[in-house]
């Protein structure tokens, strides 16, 4: 049994009931394996073999097969049945085929495949990454059509599959096409470098996912994008979003690892989670004035991104800029900063959060160069482990407006020796650089920069909150009241 088949069987066991289960083989006839669908109707489906099918010809696809004296009609290509198969010639599927299951012809390799008139049922993944030069289809088919070898719905408004081995560096989407279907351009392409879109189109989920040859993407302003539309397009170096686009959906441009040029429109208002995550070569981006929301991990792991003007951005999701190359940040209008928003930004030296109201947990988790931090008069809450292992910061001022501080705010701040809570704060106070609740009953958090530090807690303290003295390596003794 092939490794791929073994993995599919393991997946079926682990996720039984929520994903596909590899079809059973009832018998083998000629080059292919079959599963009996109905003994009464005497119908079968082509299913996976013990290994990938190789060098198949049209002769290997009969309309009928015989087993134990019973003749069956071949009516379907099952899930993954011909995934990864190689064709020795142009393949003409039998006229009896009415359905092709998920990934049924995905990643098959050859020249052309002719689909029958009776084919009615298919999945968006049925033809995913077909490494062929083109499709041919019987004109009598009621659901599908082809235009220059490209597979489309019968009305020619939706592209179902663009053959990955179709020649031509540029594909101009015909005016009659309004939708690029799910997974239509997914996977590797030998020739295609650019797709020219027209106005009013919709690009569905994962339409170009993992397409490894496209170099440039220029999108009209009224185009509708979807989840993961271009995720994993590793060769794209230039991306232009046209005027009119208001939102970048989840994962839309995730892992464009060669992207160096990004143009955002003035109309853009939201970038959803992982919108541009793992764009590792992206060094700069200019945010438009209307952009107010940047979601979770939207620019996470953009390691070469060194400077951003946050303009009018009001909310940052968790991990929004984690593991980027930012050196300084200023958030004049950001009110909410999500957990780990700037975690592990190794080059970050200064941060001005003067506009922020709510600061999440571990916002600056392991930012070893951060030495200058400014909190504003609007700050109300600071999450736990806010400065976890920020080893360069030496002093910190907490404004009067703060009403909530999470556990372990100062864990691992090994250079921090000066902590001052504004005297006007009604919830917290600092004494000898330790943060207490205003009633002096609880120790909230302590800096970790002192050597040979002996602490004597004042009378009235009844609680030392979790992680209050964690990673205070210089702490030698604590005297309790």
Task: Give the burial class of 170: count Cβ atoms within 10 A of its Cβ; 0-12 exposed, 13-18 middle, 19 or more buried.
Answer: exposed
Task: Give the burial class of 325: count Cβ atoms within 10 A of its Cβ; 0-12 exposed, 13-18 middle, 19 or more buried.
Answer: middle
- Alpha-carbon distance of 210 to 115, in angstroms, equals 26
Q: Which residues of 192-207 are buried (b: 16+ CB within 10 A; e: fewer)?
A: bebbebeeebebbbbb
pLDDT at residue number 25: 83
pLDDT at residue number 15: 36
pLDDT tens for 203-247 read 999 999 999 999 999 999 999 999 999 999 999 999 999 999 999
Q: Which pLDDT band, with edges at 50, 70 and 90, does 189 fall under?
A: low
Looking at the DSSP assignment, which residues form a beta bridge with residue 99? Answer: 76, 121
pLDDT at residue number 229: 97
Distance, CA of 391 to chain centre: 31
pLDDT at residue number 190: 78
- Alpha-carbon distance of 195 to 204, in angstroms, equals 15
- Full-model pTM: 0.90
Residue in this structure with the two tokens 């019987």, named with its chain if needed:
138
Q: Which two tokens stand for residue 403?
A: 């009403």
pLDDT at residue number 16: 38
Q: How far apart are the first and last CA of the chain?
A: 70
pLDDT tens for 266-321 read 999 999 999 999 999 999 999 999 999 999 999 999 999 999 999 899 999 999 99
Give the DSSP H or E segment for 303.
Answer: none
Is 12 strand, coil or helix?
A: helix
Task: Give the burial class of 17: count Cβ atoms within 10 A of its Cβ; 0-12 exposed, 13-18 middle, 19 or more buried.
Answer: exposed
Closest CA to 187 of 215, 216, 158, 164: 164
């Amino acid at each position: 049994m092939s490794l791929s088949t073994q993995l599919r069987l393991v997946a079926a066991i682990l996720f039984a009931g929520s994903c596909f289960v590899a079809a059973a083989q009832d018998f083998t006839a000629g080059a292919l394996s079959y599963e009996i669908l109905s003994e009464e109707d005497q119908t079968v489906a082509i299913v996976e073999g013990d290994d990938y099918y190789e060098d198949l010809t049209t002769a290997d696809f009969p309309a009928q097969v015989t087993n134990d004296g019973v003749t069956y009609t071949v009516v379907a290509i099952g899930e993954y049945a011909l995934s990864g198969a190689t064709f020795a010639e142009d393949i003409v599927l039998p006229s009896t085929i009415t359905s092709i299951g998920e990934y049924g012809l995905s990643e098959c390799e050859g020249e052309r495949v002719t689909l029958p008139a009776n084919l009615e049922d298919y999945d968006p993944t049925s033809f995913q990454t077909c490494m062929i030069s083109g499709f041919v289809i019987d004109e009598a088919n009621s659901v599908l059509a082809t235009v220059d070898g490209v597979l489309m719905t019968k009305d020619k408004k939706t592209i179902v599959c663009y053959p990955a081995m179709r020649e031509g560096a540029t594909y101009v989407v015909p005016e009659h096409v309004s939708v690029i279907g799910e997974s239509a351009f997914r996977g590797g392409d030998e020739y295609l470098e650019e797709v020219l879109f027209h106005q009013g189109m919709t690009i569905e989920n994962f339409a170009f996912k993992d397409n490894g040859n496209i170099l440039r993407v220029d999108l009209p302003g009224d185009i509708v994008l979807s989840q993961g539309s271009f995720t994993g397009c590793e060769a794209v170096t230039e991306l232009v979003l046209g005027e009119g686009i208001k939102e970048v959906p989840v994962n839309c441009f995730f892992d464009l690892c060669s992207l160096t040029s990004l143009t955002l429109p003035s109309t853009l208002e939201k970038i959803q989670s992982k919108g541009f995550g793992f764009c590792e070569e992206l060094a700069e981006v200019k945010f438009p004035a209307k952009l107010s929301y940047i979601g979770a991990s939207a620019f996470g792991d953009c390691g070469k991104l060194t400077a951003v003007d946050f303009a009018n951005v009001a909310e940052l999701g968790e991990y929004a800029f984690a593991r980027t190359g930012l050196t300084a940040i200023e958030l004049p209008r950001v009110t909410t900063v999500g957990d780990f928003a700037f975690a592990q930004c190794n080059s970050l030296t200064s941060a001005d959060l003067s506009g922020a109201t709510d600061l999440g947990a571990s916002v600056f988790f392991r930012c070893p160069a951060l030495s200058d931090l400014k909190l504003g008069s609007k700050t109300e809450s600071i999450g736990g482990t806010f400065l976890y292992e920020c080893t360069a910061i030496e002093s910190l001022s907490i404004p009067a407006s703060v009403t909530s501080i999470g556990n372990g705010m100062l864990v691992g701040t090994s250079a921090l020796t000066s902590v001052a809570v504004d005297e006007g704060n009604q919830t917290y106070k600092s004494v000898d650089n330790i943060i207490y609740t205003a009633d002096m009953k609880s120790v909230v958090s302590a800096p970790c920069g002192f050597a040979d530090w002996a602490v004597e807690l004042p009378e009235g303290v009844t609680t030392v909150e979790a992680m209050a003295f964690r990673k205070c390596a210089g702490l030698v003794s604590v005297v309790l009241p």
